[in-house]
């Protein structure tokens, strides 16, 4: 396949914007990048998409999300509104994830994946919980990802909050799915696995030890840490050490591990995160919504921590997350110099690409160059001011909208073309979700604590 007449944003280092360029795609990979006429002459008769001057750039990557949260949209929380993050867990997320059955898991994943294709997010790192439907849950999500054509990394969140048996079932589900991905290409290799853990505050020493001992070589964990002070207080009470120290002592950190949030960490914890090469993901929309504070992203960046941007189950519109990161740190510090646009791009474009590439063995993601995976989007953006590689981050922050994404391509396959979804039937998926949700919400109300 040839995509011609595009303004290509490579997100290579250094970044380049190449007018009237084309990419030649074959077997899921970008094989050539060059001027349109040159590639047209080199590949006569090739199936061609005329980008008609649109921007062609790598698909967005989401470093931390929860597909199952799709069914929380518009749901009322009974009783008094949760006063803090621990109450949000008790009154919203824990009773909701208990309410999910097999069909709900698949349908909520499908709904999230439709959203991702429409908004140009092509790789997602998911963190799943469904305590009353653990075994096989990752297969259901993998089926939805296979159908969508997108790329995803899946895990099940192990926790002791529902007792020892469910903690063990969570471990077994991670191991089963890690083994499956190691023994066969799942969705043609577009689905990969990692080992999910909820958070230190719901994990006993015994469970952490069991998880560490069972982790296959070369794999890492995906865990929430220090999202709220309570995670630190709990760790100090349980172990006498702060939460990142505790995770370090149990061998949870490392270059294959993703720690989501890291808001309430201290200087020594930042040092441990850097020294261990652990990834830290930032989810500013979720942090604002939960009122949990603001992670010291710029400090962690200066300290050399590997940072990436996630959405924590908010819409899979990653430029909205860019914009929120850009604005939040300015408001929080009352300083317009904080979190500059080029730093947002360094994290959200380059680091997200590096993190995602770790999981898909070999060819890079998140870059338009020969030899990279052919995951890309077309964006119908008409800049009113000059657009160059140097000022692109600010064009994205102030000018780009996900509604401008007209085509989404993953592994060389069109998932959306001219805003028409080609792999998923949005009307059917959302209609089925609306049929399933009333029963989920009813079960949710039966589980929610009345306080």
For binding to Zn ion (CB under 5 A), which residues are involved?
Answer: 312
Q: Least distance to Zn ion from the beta carbon of 127, Å?
A: 6
In the bound state with Zn ion, the residue whose beta carbon lies nearer, of 54 and 311, is 311
In the bound state with Zn ion, the residue whose beta carbon lies nearer, of 324 and 406, is 324
In the bound state with Zn ion, the residue whose beta carbon lies nearer, of 97 and 402, is 97
Closest residue to Zn ion, judged by C-beta, is 312
In the bound state with Zn ion, the residue whose beta carbon lies nearer, of 162 and 312, is 312
Q: How far is Cα 451 from Cα 80, in angstroms, rounded to an integer?
A: 7
Q: Least distance to Zn ion from the beta carbon of 144, Å?
A: 19
Q: Least distance to Zn ion from the beta carbon of 259, Å?
A: 11
430 contacts: CB under 8 Å, gap ≥ 6 = 111, 114
Q: Least distance to Zn ion from the beta carbon of 69, Å?
A: 9
In the bound state with Zn ion, the residue whose beta carbon lies nearer, of 152 and 378, is 152
Which among 316, 319, 295 is positioned nearest to 307, based on CA atoms? 295
Q: Least distance to Zn ion from the beta carbon of 239, Å?
A: 23
Q: Least distance to Zn ion from the beta carbon of 332, Å?
A: 20
Phi-psi map region of 189: left, alpha, beta (phi>0 left; psi -120 to 50 alpha): left
In the bound state with Zn ion, the residue whose beta carbon lies nearer, of 126 and 256, is 126
Omega before residue 88 within 30° of 0, cis? no
Q: Least distance to Zn ion from the beta carbon of 38, Å?
A: 45
Please give the span between the terminal C-alpha atoms of the chain, in angstroms, as a whole number.
Answer: 58
In the bound state with Zn ion, the residue whose beta carbon lies nearer, of 57 and 262, is 262
Burial (CB < 10 A; 0-12, 13-18, 19+), residue 222, is buried
Q: How far is Cα 243 from Cα 272, in angstroms, rounded to an integer?
A: 11
- Token digits of residue 115: 């959203």
Q: Least distance to Zn ion from the beta carbon of 196, Å?
A: 10
In the bound state with Zn ion, the residue whose beta carbon lies nearer, of 310 and 341, is 310
In the bound state with Zn ion, the residue whose beta carbon lies nearer, of 68 and 360, is 68
Q: Least distance to Zn ion from the beta carbon of 232, Å?
A: 17
- Token digits of residue 117: 């294709």
CA distance readout (Å), 186 to 29, 154, 193, 210: 18, 11, 10, 26
């Amino acid at each position: 396949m040839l995509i011609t007449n595009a303004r290509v944003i490579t997100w290579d280092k250094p970044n380049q914007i190449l007018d009237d360029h084309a990419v030649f795609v074959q077997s899921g990979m970008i094989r050539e990048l060059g001027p349109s006429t040159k590639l047209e002459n080199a590949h006569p008769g090739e199936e061609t998409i005329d980008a008609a001057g649109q921007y062609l750039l790598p698909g967005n990557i989401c470093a931390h999300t929860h597909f199952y949260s799709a069914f929380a949209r518009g749901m009322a929380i009974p009783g008094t509104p949760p006063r803090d993050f621990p109450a949000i867990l008790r009154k919203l997320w824990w009773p909701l994830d208990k309410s999910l059955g097999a069909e709900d898991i698949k349908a909520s994943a499908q709904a999230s994946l439709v959203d991702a294709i429409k908004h140009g997010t092509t790789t997602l790192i998911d963190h799943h919980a469904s305590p009353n439907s653990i075994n096989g849950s990752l297969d259901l999500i993998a089926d939805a990802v296979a159908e969508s054509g997108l790329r995803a990394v899946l895990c099940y969140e192990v926790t002791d909050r529902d007792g020892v048996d469910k903690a063990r079932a969570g471990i077994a589900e991670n191991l089963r799915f890690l083994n499956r991905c190691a023994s066969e290409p799942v969705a043609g290799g577009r689905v990969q696995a990692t080992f999910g853990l909820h958070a230190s505050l719901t994990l006993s020493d015994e469970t952490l030890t069991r998880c560490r001992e069972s982790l296959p070589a070369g794999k890492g964990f995906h865990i929430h840490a220090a999202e709220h002070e309570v995670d630190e207080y709990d760790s100090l009470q349980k172990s006498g050490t702060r939460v990142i120290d505790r995770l370090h002592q149990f061998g949870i950190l490392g270059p294959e591990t993703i720690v989501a949030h890291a808001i309430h960490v201290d200087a020594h914890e930042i040092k441990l995160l850097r020294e261990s090469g652990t990834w830290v993901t930032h989810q500013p929309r979720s942090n604002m919504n939960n009122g949990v504070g603001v992670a010291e992203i710029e400090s962690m960046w200066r300290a050399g921590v590997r940072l990436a941007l996630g959405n924590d189950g908010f819409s899979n519109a990653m430029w909205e997350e860019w914009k929120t990161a850009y604005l939040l740190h300015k408001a929080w510090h009352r300083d317009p110099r904080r979190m500059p646009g080029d730093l947002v791009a360094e994290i959200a474009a380059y680091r997200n690409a590096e993190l995602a590439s770790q999981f898909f063995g070999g060819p890079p993601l998140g870059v338009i160059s020969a030899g990279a995976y052919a995951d890309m989007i077309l964006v119908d953006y008409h800049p009113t001011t000059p657009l160059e590689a140097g000022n692109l981050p600010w064009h994205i922050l102030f000018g780009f909208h996900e509604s401008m994404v007209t085509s989404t391509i993953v592994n060389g396959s069109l998932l959306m073309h001219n805003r028409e979804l080609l792999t998923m039937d949005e009307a059917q998926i959302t209609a089925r979700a609306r049929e399933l949700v009333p029963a989920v919400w009813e079960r949710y109300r039966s589980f929610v604590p009345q306080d």
